[in-house]
Amino acid sequence: MFQAETLDHVAFPVRDLPRSERFYLETVGLTFMTQRKNADGSPRHTYMKAGENIVGLTLPGVAVPASASGAPRYAIGLPNVDQFDAAVKRIQASGVKCFDVESHGADSPFVTAFQFIDPDDNQIELCVRRQPLAETDGVSHVIFETGNLARSIKFYTEGLGLKLVGEVRGETLFEFQNGQMLGVKEVKELAERTRKKGRACHVAFNVSQEDYDVMLERIPKLEGKSLGDFRATDGLRPDGERSIYFFDPDTNYLQITALGDKSGGMISDEEKWKLTQENRQKAGRGISSFDKGVKIQK
Ligand SMILES: [Fe+2]
């Protein structure tokens, strides 16, 4: 079956890492995984976990207001209404901007949902799904803006093989093999939040090795743009693993990965920067000031 398998990880921009770690750990209720460093040892991003999905809180962030469209938006699925209600109460009490709790009808994939804006102006959602996902799939869905819905539907159904689910809240939803979803919301003009993403902020999908080849061919034909795989040129991919970063037709920053037989696990920051520096030297390049950890002016 030609269809992207899962939504694996998301990464969005934050400006104050300790503040975000506390917010996502204590208020939202995600699990802390690790904080990753730049080459100079300064903080780069923190990986939190929702189930087994990584939620990346990524410096240096952007000074851009929340979008009016509600996208880009990252949604965490909770296993039941009790846990959902408890999380909603904590978030409401935290003082961030909250929208009303929504109750959905029987034709919606959601039982209930709640949107809020995090301390860095990211749109975030909590939901309870009508058909629960596996416990490992903590990210329920992501929503992106599109300037052209028909083009977007073609891109996601033909380019990534996602299954069209239908429209909920004015957003067109598509499904991965495991039931996680991606949605698009049509807007007259893309918000600054869509255009200015923040360094290394992207959303990643897992696909089969077989589908990967087809997607590589189709993405540019359907007005996406492949950006290659800088992790491979840096020598950071385990054998057999293939991946590209790419833009959808609206410049939403995405990644597809076809895992190899062996899962590499996460290498240490020291090992990562050693390999990166060696491989970039071979290519006659150094590492950027962003990678070194030199503070970037926003
Ligand atoms: Fe990634």
What residues form DSSP beta bridges with 205?
7, 256
Query: Which residues keep their CB under 5 angstroms from ion ligand 1?
Result: 204, 255
Residue 296 has pLDDT above 60, yes or no: no
Residue 96 has pLDDT above 90, yes or no: yes
Which residue did the predictor score with more confidence, 2 or 296?
Answer: 2
Mean pLDDT score, 210-236: 92
Tell me the CA–centroid distance for residue 54 and ligand 1, in Å.
Answer: 9
> Is residue 134 a part of any domain in this protein?
yes
Residue 83 has pLDDT above 80, yes or no: yes
> Is residue 298 a part of any domain in this protein?
no
Q: What is the pLDDT of residue 265?
A: 79
Tell me the CA–centroid distance for residue 227 and ligand 1, in Å.
Answer: 13
Residue 125 has pLDDT above 80, yes or no: yes
- Of 34-48, 82-96, 122-136, 255-269, which gets the smallest average pLDDT? 255-269
> Is residue 194 a part of any domain in this protein?
yes
> Is residue 292 a part of any domain in this protein?
no
Please tell me the total count of domains within the chain.
Answer: 1
Print the domain residue range for 164.
6-280
Mean pLDDT score, 15-37: 97
Query: And the tokens for 218?
Result: 């189709």
Tell me the CA–centroid distance for residue 10 and ligand 1, in Å.
Answer: 7
Q: For the domain that residue 50 is a member of, what is the CATH number?
A: 3.10.180.10
Tell me the CA–centroid distance for residue 105 and ligand 1, in Å.
Answer: 34
Residue 269 has pLDDT above 80, yes or no: yes
Residue 166 · residue 173 · CB < 8 Å: yes
Give the pLDDT band of residue 232 (cuts 50, 70, 90): confident
Tell me the CA–centroid distance for residue 78 and ligand 1, in Å.
Answer: 23
> Is residue 106 a part of any domain in this protein?
yes
- CA pair distance 258, 59, nearest whole angstrom: 27
> Is residue 127 a part of any domain in this protein?
yes
> Is residue 181 a part of any domain in this protein?
yes
Q: What is the pLDDT of residue 102?
A: 98
- CA pair distance 275, 277, nearest whole angstrom: 6
> Is residue 291 a part of any domain in this protein?
no
Tell me the CA–centroid distance for residue 98 and ligand 1, in Å.
Answer: 29
Tell me the CA–centroid distance for residue 206 and ligand 1, in Å.
Answer: 10
Give the pLDDT band of residue 281 (cuts 50, 70, 90): confident
Phi, psi of 99 (to 5 degrees): -100, 175
The answer to whether the predicted template modeling score (pTM) of the entire model surpasses 0.85 is: yes
Let me know if 258 is exposed, middle or buried by CB neighbors in 10 A (0-12, 13-18, 19+).
Answer: buried
Tell me the CA–centroid distance for residue 204 and ligand 1, in Å.
Answer: 5
Residue 6 has pLDDT above 90, yes or no: yes
Which residue did the predictor score with more confidence, 264 or 151?
Answer: 151
Mean pLDDT score, 164-181: 98
- CA pair distance 187, 194, nearest whole angstrom: 11
Tell me the CA–centroid distance for residue 11 and ligand 1, in Å.
Answer: 8
Task: Write out pLDDT tens, residues 65-79.
Answer: 999 999 999 999 999
Mean pLDDT score, 167-171: 97
Alpha helices, H only, the chain: 17-22, 81-94, 149-154, 192-195, 209-221, 230-233, 269-282, 289-292
Q: Which helix (H) or strand (E) holds 118?
A: none
Angle at 124 between CA 123 and CA 126, to 5 degrees: 150
Q: What is the pLDDT of residue 226?
A: 95
Residue 295 has pLDDT above 70, yes or no: no
Query: Average pLDDT of the chain?
Result: 94
Secondary structure of residue 140 in the 3-state scheme: strand
Tell me the CA–centroid distance for residue 38 and ligand 1, in Å.
Answer: 16
